[in-house]
Amino acid sequence: MRTYAILIFLLFAGTAYSQKTINNYKYVLVPDRFDFFKMDNQYGLNTLTKFLLQEKGFTAVMGSEPLPPEVVANPCSALKTEVVEKKGLFVTNLTLLLKDCQGNIIFKSKEGKSREKEFQAAYEFALRGAFSSLNDVPYKYDSVSLAPPQPVVAVQPPIPSAPVPAPAAAPTSVAITESMGTLYAQATANGYQLIDTTPKKVLTLLKTSMPDYFITEGGAYNGLVFKNNGEWFYEYYKDGKLVSLKLQIKF
């Protein structure tokens, strides 16, 4: 009987996850450069994407900006933005994709098209055309509307004499600088591994869809390594506090 109940719970939880919509996400990450361009924010398309997402009601974060603490603690709490270009003769075609942390497409726009001859005008017009289908979808952030059902847990009656626990303090940021020494990056199939002068592997960096943003594995704490203002940082949570560790990485 217990096995049967667990199977039903897992089936229901999987169904709920597969039905996620844009309403389950507050944050959207926007890369500094789209794959079909050679320069960051070429023709202002990345900042325009951030602006249009904010107009929709999302909290949009560019790749060069610090991540909100909620996203550092849980990278899967944010959607990732992709803009795809389809080559066409005398026509600029762009499609907007919003993906979750596993690469599943949560939203796909219609194709925005432009026949403008000037590149900046063509890309901007096509992007706004793609966003028009996003504007047709109602959006209101709801973090719990599709949360998986929680298992029933027996609750003990409260003991009158038990003290009331104090509310947990809000996470605070703790800055630590260069405590790991110089680390050397060695390329792997999915990113890099960081080696100290021993030599010993200190961290594994896994690529994300955002340039200069990596998910960490193999360290004392899982977190993110990212580049900000030309410097590398390793951020993770320890005892409810956000730790920001500056790294010296040689690529």
pLDDT at residue number 161: 57
Task: With a cut of 50, say whether residue 224 has pLDDT above it.
Answer: yes
pTM over 0.75? The answer is no
Percent of the chain with pLDDT over 70: 78
* Model confidence pLDDT, tens digit, residues 139-167: 999 876 444 444 445 555 565 555 555 55
Task: With a cut of 60, say whether residue 84 has pLDDT above it.
Answer: yes
Residue 114 domain flag? yes
pLDDT at residue number 173: 47
Domain shared by 113 and 190, yes or no? no
Domain shared by 7 and 111, yes or no? yes
Residue 150 domain flag? no
CA distance 235 to 219: 11
Of the three residues 89, 109, 135, the one that is the final residue of a domain is 135
* Model confidence pLDDT, tens digit, residues 4-32: 444 444 444 444 444 789 999 999 999 99
Residue 148 domain flag? no
Higher pLDDT, 82 or 12: 82
Domain shared by 65 and 188, yes or no? no
CA distance 128 to 94: 9
Residue 152 domain flag? no
Percent of the chain with pLDDT over 90: 39
Say if residues 248 and 178 touch (Cβ distance below 8 Å). Answer: yes
pLDDT at residue number 236: 82
Domain shared by 129 and 20, yes or no? yes
Domain count, the chain: 2
pLDDT at residue number 57: 93
* Model confidence pLDDT, tens digit, residues 171-196: 444 444 455 778 888 888 888 888 88
User: Which of the four pLDDT bands, split at 50, 70 and 90, describes residue 114?
Assistant: very high
Domain shared by 25 and 117, yes or no? yes
The whole domain housing 182 covers 173-250
Residue 129 domain flag? yes
Domain shared by 42 and 98, yes or no? yes
* Model confidence pLDDT, tens digit, residues 36-54: 999 999 988 999 999 999 9
The mean pLDDT of the chain is: 80
pLDDT at residue number 160: 56
pLDDT at residue number 49: 95
